[in-house]
Amino acid sequence: MSTTSKGGRTDAQSGASALAKELWQIPSTQRHAFGITDDAIRIWDAGISCIRILIDDSDPRSWLDRLDEFVRERFGDIEDFDEANVERFAAEAQRLIGADIPEWAQDIKKEGFQRFARRAVGEAAYHRLVAALQTDAAVLTVALRRATRGLMPYAVALDDLYSVLPERERMPLPMPPSDVSSDVSSTMLSLMWVLDTSLEKLVEFSAPIVAEESSPPELTLLTKNDLLKLAVELRRTVSGRSRQKVTELSSSLGRKVQGARDALQYSADSVAQAANSLIELIDRLLRAAFTDAEVLSWIEQNYPEAKDLTWIDRGLAKPTKRGQILCFVHAGFPVDKPSVIHQLAATALATARTQLQKLKHADQGTEEELEEVQQLLAAVEGFLHLAIGVAWAAASDERVESLRLNLDARR
């Protein structure tokens, strides 16, 4: 997928778009006849260059460090890169994504357009442009596939949370094709797979320039059978990540998650013990992260109209479990606009805790009880994966450290 540039570095290393290089060789009058502006080339080049840098597995640096260097090298020495230029590039990018690229994608398939392009730029230049476009398409496909496959653990976590919601709380989800959803019970995971397979046309287009021995795994199609096996692995991934994230915050709480799994595997009284461990985990996590006073103040500032986030105990206002969870999943930050995902997560965990409370006192050792507590464990782990891994990602290091100290101090 890489060619060598004049400086001895490969395109992948230098981060340049193959298509942009070829387009700059075409006279501007011919480019403009196709509606390709100079700004459009610069935007495409910057986008593909940035993607190549981010998917470079040989670079040990973080994404932020790579992006910082890219921005400095690409834009740092442009003295006239002022607000007006930023607005111009933003408008051009919006036009490209909204109209031009989809239109060009359709035109490229038409024989009439191909004949016109050959005559306009010449046969040799046309073939170079096609090969360059295939090279950039391969880069784009790898990035998009990594994105969809990287999101699959979060899709599984959402599915596990959604599965414990009461029917009245469930919002309608876009359904995947019936031949997929009938085999894979996870709705969001099925949808991510459908999105993943939709990229196969890009793979087929870029195939001629990808050497078989160097083909990255992202260019290999995930079949339905692969997805069935992957669902099991993804659940293990979510479980492992959630334990790791909780342990990083508090080692004692991390042991509670592991204790629930151990109880299911080894204990004679497995359902009751697992349920008890999960309830203790939820309660201690919420109690230690924020005091009741902090939660009440947060609710008053962010959800003053909500009726199910507080209750009165002997004349004193107290937060409900859902109120505590909602504050927790927001990391105590102000809420500019209510989030459906945050509210879904809070409702699902509160529901899971209520169901665990019943299992804690009604362990008959039946298969149904075992399956239910396993489902609830997956929901709790899904919540932790989403809350700490995603919702808390926007929190500053100082805020996360403060919450970690709270968890250690208020045990």
pTM: 0.78
pLDDT digits (tens, 9 = 90+) for 184-201: 556 788 888 888 998 998
pLDDT digits (tens, 9 = 90+) for 116-173: 888 888 899 989 999 999 999 999 999 999 999 999 999 999 889 888 887 777 766 6
Q: How big is the chain by its Cα radius of gyration, in Å?
A: 26
Residue 411 has pLDDT above 60, yes or no: no
Residue 296 has pLDDT above 90, yes or no: yes
Q: Distance between CA 258 and CA 277 in Å, rounded?
A: 9
Beta strand 316-319 with 310-313: parallel, antiparallel or unpaired?
antiparallel
Q: 118 phi and psi, to 5 degrees?
A: -60, -45
Q: Residue range 32-36: average pLDDT?
A: 82
Q: Distance between CA 78 and CA 72 in Å, rounded?
A: 10
pLDDT digits (tens, 9 = 90+) for 238-265: 988 888 888 877 787 788 788 888 877 7
pLDDT, residue 408, reads: 65
CA dihedral 115, 116, 121, 125 (to 10 degrees): -30
pLDDT, residue 309, reads: 93
Question: In the structure, what pLDDT confidence band is assigned to residue 282 with cuts at 50, 70 and 90?
Answer: very high
Total residues belonging to the chain: 411
Q: Which pair of tokens denotes residue 303?
A: 């959800």
User: Which amino acid does the sequence have at 61?
Assistant: R
From the list 276, 279, 320, the residue with the least C-alpha distance to 299 is: 320
What residues are paired with 312 via a beta bridge?
A: 317
pLDDT, residue 102, reads: 66
Q: Which pair of tokens denotes residue 408?
A: 């250690």
Q: Which pair of tokens denotes residue 112?
A: 């009439």
pLDDT above 90: percentage of residues in the chain: 22
pLDDT digits (tens, 9 = 90+) for 382-407: 998 888 877 777 667 777 777 777 77
pLDDT, residue 172, reads: 64
